[in-house]
Amino acid sequence: MFLTSAQRGQKAPPIAYQVMNGSGPTTLQARLSALRERLSEAGSIREVIEVAATAHDALGLPQKSGAWQQAATLLSVMYARAARTSSARDDRQMVAAICAEAREASYAALTDSALSPREVQLMNLYQTKGREADATVVVLREGDFMGYESEPFPTTSRLLYVVFSRARHKIVVLLVGNRFHAAVAPLAALAAN
């Protein structure tokens, strides 16, 4: 489906048929076999997600690597949320929990589209300077890039100060993931207590 959606027009591209039929260049077939083997050897859903996240590059697909990365990030976030909130004990239950997260995300997308753009503003950390709101929701995710500096993180600390000082009345901080940048890690430790 991804290969077809990544192309313009109404016909599936030749590479989609090659992947489905096991035909095409021997390099593609070797890459598909290696990917299939890595997926089969994965010991957990988390490992499967990690392998799937790199599949675009592993297969040498020509287009839409950004879309693949975005989908991989969304899947990783859904997995983290499902792992945190569900009582799934095995892989099948975890997949069901991830599917429930995906359904919930699609419902939320429909609801969000009805909001007035003046009521909610979505921006990245760097766009918040000079803005103010009654309430802000700050989402800090595992893997967010916070620069290359080391402790005491002068630039990152200033950025986080600006972000956290935008709310006039209320601020909500959502920590998504398990491992955070060292400048954000104290917030995760505080939330865990």
Q: Which of 80, 36, 83 is nearest to 58 (CA)?
A: 36
What percent of the chain is modeled with pLDDT above 90?
Answer: 3
Distance CA 49, CA 102 (A): 15
pLDDT digits (tens, 9 = 90+) for 17-29: 888 887 888 888 8
Question: Is the pLDDT confidence value at 118 over 60?
Answer: no
Q: Which of 55, 50, 61 is nearest to 36 (CA)?
A: 55
Provide the pLDDT for residue 126: 75
Q: Is the pTM of this model over 0.85?
A: no
Domain ranges of the chain: 2-112, 125-192
Helices (H), 26-168: 26-41, 45-53, 55-59, 65-85, 91-112, 154-164
On the 0-12 / 13-18 / 19+ scale of CB atoms within 10 A, 80 is buried
